[in-house]
Amino acid sequence: MEAFRDVLITEVALRDGSHAIRHQFTVDQVVAVAKGLDEANVPYIEVSHGDGLGGSSLQYGLSLTNEMELIEAAASVVKNAKIAVLLLPGIGTMPELKEAASLGAKMARIATHVTEADVSPQHISLAKELGLETVGFLMMSHMAPTAKLVEQAKLMESYGADTVYVVDSAGALLPHQVKERVRALKDALTVNVGFHAHNNLSLAMANTLAAIEEGATRIDGSIRCLGAGAGNTQTEVLVSVLDKLGIQTGIDIYKMMDIAENIVAPILEKPQEITKDSLVLGYAGVYSSFLLHAQRASERFGIDSRDILIELGKRNVVGGQEDMILDVAAELANTK
């Protein structure tokens, strides 16, 4: 790898990690994590419901604490870091984006399914009007051929995105597939290229390094692997690896280790590891946030959660179709 290439990291544990703890973050937890990450010089800290602004619902999971309180609390304690929020058009609304900006958010990550970038122009445009650094987030990137991914990324760039991400929402991509996608975006776009991994096939670090090698300069990580499914690229490990490669992140490694051990670990309901269910997410190519929903459906209908996830994968079910999890479980139960 080229030693001169610097990387900017967005810490996603306070958003993606919301899935892992059933959206039960408290203000005190968010304040402690955000303050620590800021002191460790993490440049971007994402805070919102796991499914983005407006995600707190029966379908996606109810938050313990209103996410606007969490965003405001995080913004109030950071001195250098920028608070980021995620918005999925159709779940989050433009008034919610305006409110988040008024409470201190400095970055908006506008997320769509990999083939549906055309639902995002209003939200990307509004984010730019609000003075927010704006990211286009192409989720479930394994579900489209590279040419389609490039087409959709160019749409987001045309709407005004400062960065466009290849998002491996299912943790299903293999390193050579990441390289192909990131290189194609790097060649086709003039804006920054980013990469967001999940560790369901134990490839988050390998995939992230592959993305950086091909020119991605915006990278997501989750401290202590606190993210949906088996988590994301583990941030404190990533900054250590990049330091060994001579790639600068500006993040204090020791402080990240301490935050992971002393602040984040106690928040975890159980250690983040690759379980049979999270492994199947990556194997079947299913959205990582489906994990807890599938486990609940498994208990309710007496069906192996892996069978539910495999069937969801066969049907190409994507984020926003959580209601299909119960439908599939009921269908499988009726065929037993």
Q: What is the pLDDT of residue 206?
A: 98
Q: Which residues are annotated as a binding site?
A: 15-16, 169, 196, 198, 287
Residue ranges per domain, the chain?
Answer: 8-266, 276-334
Active site residue 19: yes
**CATH topology for the 8-266 domain:** TIM Barrel (3.20.20)
Asked whether this chain's domains 8-266 and 276-334 adopt the same fold, the reply is no
Question: Tell me, what amino acid is at 262?
Answer: N
Whole-number pLDDT of residue 214:
97
**164/162 Cα distance (integer angstroms):** 7
Distance, C-alpha 106 to centroid of its chain = 17
Q: 150, 74, 67, 138: which is closest to 109 by C-alpha?
A: 138
Going residue by residue through the chain (336 aa), what tens digit of pLDDT does each one get?
444 458 999 999 999 999 999 999 999 999 999 999 999 999 999 999 999 999 999 888 999 999 999 999 999 999 999 999 999 999 999 999 999 999 999 999 999 999 999 999 999 999 999 999 999 999 999 999 999 999 999 999 999 999 999 999 999 999 999 999 999 999 999 999 999 999 999 999 999 999 999 999 999 999 999 999 999 999 999 999 999 999 999 999 999 999 999 999 999 989 999 999 999 999 999 988 888 889 999 999 999 999 999 999 999 988 778 888 999 999 999 987
Q: Please give the Cα distance from 167 to 197 (Å, whole number).
A: 7
* The residue to which tokens 């995600």 are assigned: 55
pLDDT of residue 336: 73
Q: Topology of domain 276-334, per CATH?
A: Helicase, Ruva Protein; domain 3 (1.10.8)
Selecting among 19, 113, 123, 142, the annotated active-site residue is 19
Q: What is the pTM of this model?
A: 0.94
The predicted pLDDT at position 5 comes to 54
Residue 229: closest CA among 9, 12, 63, 57:
12
Angle of the 305-314 helix axis to the 323-334 helix axis, nearest 10: 110
| Cα(240)–Cα(15) distance, integer angstroms | 23
Residues annotated within the binding site for substrate are 15-16, 169, 196, 287
Binding site residues for Mn(2+), as ranges? 16, 196, 198
Give CB contacts under 8 A, 24+ apart, made by 78-82: 78/34, 78/35, 78/37, 78/38, 78/45, 79/38, 80/38, 80/41, 80/43, 81/34, 81/37, 81/38, 81/41, 81/42, 81/43, 81/44, 81/45, 82/43, 82/44, 82/45, 82/106, 82/107, 82/133
